[in-house]
Structure 1
């Protein structure tokens, strides 16, 4: 078919990509032909078909224009769509009307110009599948008849969920016929594509991949159920390990742990979080992260890089919303989240309280008048960041990590468990290290009581919950006047306080429409 009549036929029309899931039950030539005939009967203006043999089968059964492609997985190149000249020839011989090629600017076995020349040697029109404006301009300069936004979002990084309307809009002004393709998977999005300047729209998965559509409906139903029941995805990112959990009304439905990657807040780290929770998709309606460090307006920074070296001002809430596909996400300091968890469901229920954790680090959170007090800079309750008389952080002297470092410098095992084991065996060096650390925490708690005058302190953390540590702490507190002594109770939620608390906070934020 000549170029102009074909483009007029496609204008403002729907192109249906009849490509089943590879290896799925519908991945047969007979099914592809049936899909093509059904699309024709539904009003499709053209078809997009993969593989020369299937192009030939559809051509024999249907008279619609066919955009033909060949997909290959190559070791030496990420290019998959019609990478070789022999593919072009096979598609032309099979009866394709248009031949589409990957026209991205990536390492490839054959140049885009050579592929275009091969198409020009046939009677077929040439279509460039691309991902960027620069690639679109190059394709137009080369003389492609059609350009498509097919590859946008598929050339690296997380695959977005929404179509690339920005790319579509700028491509529509280049003067070449533009097909909107790539995640235009609802009638509304297809209509919006035409409004944004597309000459035609290609849809595939939403029409011909029953597995995908079924999953979309299932996820939507699961998400609606999560909203109704109030389920949140909660993450507690610690210095050594991370806990991920599905939490509903203070109850953990499912959980898993993984070592915290040392390259924190990198693309690899975010990708690992997404992978860890991938099978929970659709089961939650809010996302919250309890993290070591300080969080202001969703941006995460380190308070003590010795505990966790976080890139300054990491947009944590924004990235979590993106990778977990939620409208918004909440990020809060882990001890503040644990404080809220203990207030709502644990040992501090219904009281003005402070939560203090002594673990690999030292942190804290304060709840007064039924509100988590985060402060103007997100620092409220950061007991570990208070200073000793010599200017040292409390956390750098009295935490589990700090005690281990001191033991190591003195020639003893640099392991917190080994220190407390030695204490149980009556070793004086262990008793000295623990007593010194507990003494400084006691002083900080007395100061906190004098400032906030709270009803109780909930003590948690892997070190803080040890009976031998609590005994040393209570012993150190006896040196202070009784009016300044806090009422200390052990945490009830243990290591789960952070995820329980941040899940509740995230759900409250989502119910208000923000987080």
Structure 2
């Protein structure tokens, strides 16, 4: 076959849930026939026996793969040369394999060579643009987005449309695959430049599709119960540097939420207009709005303390503009202060006076003293400096940005999550960076304890809640006398702390 044979087409992945009631050759060939009759042009099938069974039943192009769970490598898709040979013998026209830059039993170049030796086409399942570059240099005929989001960290919910567009700059033979669950997402992948689009679970895995509908219906019924039991609902909004969360919140419970990207260059007027449009379906379900933002909020006006995080006009009339856009009462708070209130009222604070620290890309915080949230500049711990006037803010030598910069200085191109992963594996350089960050946070916690004497210091944020980090902070405080030490606890509300806190504050502001 030629690459053009599957151009501008739908490919259906006929892979039943392993061990499930449809995990048999009869169902796989049935899926294949039904998909082709409905307009699919090609198939993606896992395992040599299923490829052979489908080959006897259909004449359409087949992308064949073998999945293995290896003890010495994270690579699962067609890891061995013998797998390539067996798939070719079974009748696969295209052989797909994991092309990620990870520990692997066989180099990508050797897999491509083996595919070509059997006069088959090679598809490289990639996780990023660099994977695609290497695979194309090795001679791959197609590159796919199959493994984007599956090589570390939490699995995303949506397909990687941006990666499709990036790969299209390298080759016209991009196959979109991964988390494509609706016709709209499939169309978006095609518009982004994919020459073909693979859809799997949404068509051939009844168990998965049923679970999606079950979850959606359960959430809807829970939301209906919550509106009846919990009382007034508030729209909580948390505007961040890269994304914005909007949520319907009642009594400290998130009923529904959504995340939309923050178009940094568009400015706050555009952000508010976009939010109003995105939440328009909720307009009749809330009476008030609470908005949490990075930076300083005073008298309803918003100013940036660190323009690199999110640039806004100084003194932007946030409450006034938002009230005009939404047509409902609005209050606004700093995001970390709002999260502090959320943790105090509904999370790890347990109603006790706390200091909240969020450690992620930067460092923020909030203070609840005598049951009252301190506003203004209170809690901006990431911007404090040492005794030397030219010393940089604390977050510049502690937070996620700093961790990534130290990794680069050590000769490793890694973000904070990668550094933590390597530290957990025992790599000394990574452990030293994480430990140094934790040591500085420990010093900050000791200073906070001496200045404010809170009942607890609640630690949140992607760095603060990373595996092992809080234990390292506690270890650095090990020699501090008990009365001077801090009760460090992990935040409980995670990414919802800001919207829950600001929604409750909006109710108090009535």
What TM-score do the two structures reach when normalised by structure 2? Answer: 0.53
Matched, 1:336 2:332: no
Matched, 1:216 2:182: no
Structure 1 residues 64-83: aligned runs within 5 Å: 64-83=60-79
Judged with a 3 Å threshold, the aligned counterparts in structure 2 of structure 1 residues 399 and 189 are, in CA distance, closer, same or farther, namely closer
Contact 2:14 2:28 in 1 (8 A): yes
TM-superposed CA distance for 1:250, in Å, is 3.8
Judged with a 3 Å threshold, the aligned counterparts in structure 2 of structure 1 residues 33 and 339 are, in CA distance, closer, same or farther, namely closer
**CA–CA distance in structure 2, aligned partners of residues 195 and 56 of structure 1:** 33
Judged with a 3 Å threshold, the aligned counterparts in structure 2 of structure 1 residues 363 and 506 are, in CA distance, closer, same or farther, namely closer
Matched, 1:58 2:63: no
Match of 1:459 in 2: none
Match of 2:368 in 1: 364
Match of 2:105 in 1: 109
**CA–CA distance in structure 2, aligned partners of residues 141 and 209 of structure 1:** 35
TM-superposed CA distance for 1:119, in Å, is 0.9
TM-superposed CA distance for 1:222, in Å, is 2.8
Contact 1:67 1:96 in 2 (8 A): yes
- Please state whether the residue corresponding to 1:201 is helix, strand or coil: strand
Matched, 1:193 2:189: yes
**CA–CA distance in structure 2, aligned partners of residues 121 and 190 of structure 1:** 33
TM-superposed CA distance for 1:506, in Å, is 5.4
TM-superposed CA distance for 1:207, in Å, is 0.7
TM-superposed CA distance for 1:363, in Å, is 5.8
TM-superposed CA distance for 1:377, in Å, is 2.4
Contact 2:84 2:95 in 1 (8 A): yes
Structure 1 residues 451-462: aligned runs within 5 Å: none
- Please state whether the residue corresponding to 2:97 is helix, strand or coil: strand
- Please state whether the residue corresponding to 2:111 is helix, strand or coil: helix
Contact 1:339 1:366 in 2 (8 A): no
- Please state whether the residue corresponding to 1:141 is helix, strand or coil: helix
Judged with a 3 Å threshold, the aligned counterparts in structure 2 of structure 1 residues 81 and 397 are, in CA distance, closer, same or farther, namely closer
**CA–CA distance in structure 2, aligned partners of residues 198 and 505 of structure 1:** 42
Judged with a 3 Å threshold, the aligned counterparts in structure 2 of structure 1 residues 506 and 108 are, in CA distance, closer, same or farther, namely same
Contact 1:168 1:180 in 2 (8 A): yes
In structure 1, which of residues 152, 172, 188 is the aligned counterpart of residue 168 of structure 2? 172
**CA–CA distance in structure 1, aligned partners of residues 344 and 221 of structure 2:** 28
Judged with a 3 Å threshold, the aligned counterparts in structure 2 of structure 1 residues 192 and 503 are, in CA distance, closer, same or farther, namely closer
**CA–CA distance in structure 2, aligned partners of residues 40 and 503 of structure 1:** 46
Paired residues, number: 319
TM-superposed CA distance for 1:508, in Å, is 6.1
Contact 2:94 2:120 in 1 (8 A): yes
TM-superposed CA distance for 1:337, in Å, is 4.0
Matched, 1:375 2:394: no
TM-superposed CA distance for 1:204, in Å, is 0.5
Matched, 1:123 2:128: no
Match of 2:258 in 1: none
Structure 1 residues 391-430: aligned runs within 5 Å: none
Contact 1:130 1:136 in 2 (8 A): yes
Contact 1:179 1:202 in 2 (8 A): yes
TM-superposed CA distance for 1:226, in Å, is 4.1
Judged with a 3 Å threshold, the aligned counterparts in structure 2 of structure 1 residues 364 and 32 are, in CA distance, closer, same or farther, namely same
Matched, 1:8 2:23: no
Matched, 1:161 2:166: no
For structure 1, the 5+ residue unaligned runs are 233-246, 254-284, 287-295, 300-311, 316-328, 347-354, 381-391, 403-413, 417-432, 434-461, 463-495
- Please state whether the residue corresponding to 1:215 is helix, strand or coil: helix
- Please state whether the residue corresponding to 1:364 is helix, strand or coil: strand
**CA–CA distance in structure 1, aligned partners of residues 156 and 54 of structure 2:** 32
Match of 1:91 in 2: 87
Contact 1:17 1:48 in 2 (8 A): yes
Contact 1:168 1:197 in 2 (8 A): yes
**CA–CA distance in structure 2, aligned partners of residues 66 and 398 of structure 1:** 66
- Please state whether the residue corresponding to 1:92 is helix, strand or coil: helix
Structure 1 residues 227-306: aligned runs within 5 Å: 227-228=223-224, 229-230=226-227, 249-250=250-251, 297=293
Match of 2:279 in 1: none
Contact 1:356 1:363 in 2 (8 A): no
Contact 1:140 1:176 in 2 (8 A): no
What TM-score do the two structures reach when normalised by structure 1? Answer: 0.52
- Please state whether the residue corresponding to 1:60 is helix, strand or coil: helix
Judged with a 3 Å threshold, the aligned counterparts in structure 2 of structure 1 residues 66 and 356 are, in CA distance, closer, same or farther, namely closer
TM-superposed CA distance for 1:252, in Å, is 8.3
Contact 1:33 1:58 in 2 (8 A): yes
Judged with a 3 Å threshold, the aligned counterparts in structure 2 of structure 1 residues 335 and 498 are, in CA distance, closer, same or farther, namely farther
Contact 1:77 1:108 in 2 (8 A): yes
**CA–CA distance in structure 1, aligned partners of residues 494 and 122 of structure 2:** 56
Kindly provide the CA deviation profile for residues 48-79 of structure 1, in whole angstroms up to 9, marking residues without a partner as x: 00011110001111111100001111111111
Judged with a 3 Å threshold, the aligned counterparts in structure 2 of structure 1 residues 366 and 45 are, in CA distance, closer, same or farther, namely farther
**CA–CA distance in structure 2, aligned partners of residues 184 and 497 of structure 1:** 29
